[in-house]
Amino acid sequence: MKPFDYIRAGDASEAVDAAADGATIIAGGTNLLDLMKHEVMAPGRLVDITRLDLKRIEDMDGGLRIGALVTNSDLAADMRVRRSWPALAQALLAGASGQLRNKASTGGNLLQRTRCYYFYDTAMPCNKRAPGSGCGAIGGATRLHAILGGSDACIATHPSDMAVGLTMLGAEVEIMGQGGATRRVPLTEFYRLPGDTPHIETVLEPGELITAVILPPPAAGAQTYRKVRDRASYAFALVSVAARLRLEEGRIAEAALAFGGIAPRPWRDAAAEELLCGEQPSEALFVRAADTLLQGAEAQEGNAFKIPLLRRTLTATLSQLWKESSQ
């Protein structure tokens, strides 16, 4: 690990000013410290925000305001979340070991970096780590890589389970900039697709700080989070689905879907959701929704299995919700 300066921020304004001056923000450090040890990232200065007043989960306009420093453990255990937004609690519990959840923060979870093998291997080319160096994954080992939303410059996937659940639930990110100005960005607009600049991963500007995540009021219907991975615990998703269905008089009145493990950001497809609405649920309908989602899929040799796997996972998830909604 290379030497670095360390600052402990006394308030959010101090953290924002330090970040604007080139410092890297650290909270739980569950991802950043690994990246520093491997010299994938080598920040010259860290600003520690763990003493800021961002650790509360508060009721807000029928929804919740989740402070950026709320730990994944505390968020998953909150009875309001478990009762009204169960897909989020399930996604958090699927995401990591208990030890990691005790340290990982809400804001840091959203900003964790990809687990692409080539991103972590500094001997290999990676446009995300070293812009313009190339993408070692294309034509390489691609089991964990994207089938949607990638580009000729990058096919890495976003690793967060929590972000998939939040995307399905319509969450927003509260961001503070210099001078105390705040803005909200829907999570569907927070992440950037790689294009030819995969190193620019979000819409955050230099000197901006995530202060909270805003959950809208709970929506009616059954919801769940389903994750398929190589082993039973603490592995990143090959495919994951966060879904909600609301039925009225035997037909689907509302559908919300988000996907992980298949794209550079949590993936949402309005066309697949619209296809479901107004229809009588059936396995054939769910397969059609999956085919709509997969119309633009581009697989490598190593991850082509994700196409039928996603089709089966989505069908099974929607069938589960259909059964729950009919009881």
Per-residue pLDDT reduced to its tens digit, 114-173: 999 999 999 999 999 999 999 999 999 999 999 999 999 999 999 999 999 999 999 999
Per-residue pLDDT reduced to its tens digit, 214-227: 999 999 999 999 99
In angstroms, rounded to a whole number, what is the distance separating the alpha carbons of residues 86 and 77? 10
Per-residue pLDDT reduced to its tens digit, 63-107: 999 999 999 999 999 999 999 999 999 999 999 888 999 999 999
Contacts of 239 by beta carbon, 8 Å cutoff, 6+ apart:
227, 228, 259, 260, 261, 262, 306, 309, 310, 313
Mean pLDDT, rounded, for 42-64: 97
Q: Is the dihedral of CA 127, 130, 134, 135 positive or negative?
A: negative
In angstroms, rounded to a whole number, what is the distance separating the alpha carbons of residues 177 and 143? 38
What amino acid occupies position 98? G
For the full predicted model, state whether its pTM sits above 0.85.
Answer: yes
Is residue 276 a contact partner of residue 221, using CB atoms and an 8 Å limit?
Answer: no
Per-residue pLDDT reduced to its tens digit, 263-319: 999 999 999 999 999 999 999 999 999 999 999 999 999 999 999 999 999 999 999
Provide the pLDDT confidence category of residue 234 given band limits of 50, 70 and 90: confident
Amino acid 1: pLDDT = 79
| Gyration radius of the chain over CA positions | 20
Nearest to 223 by CA among 249, 205, 246, 251: 246
Of 3.30.830.10, 1.10.3330.10, 3.30.390.50, 2.60.120.330, the CATH number of 222-325 is 3.30.390.50
3-state class (DSSP) for residue 34: helix
What amino acid occupies position 153? A
DSSP state of 78: -
Nearest to 277 by CA among 254, 247, 249, 244: 254
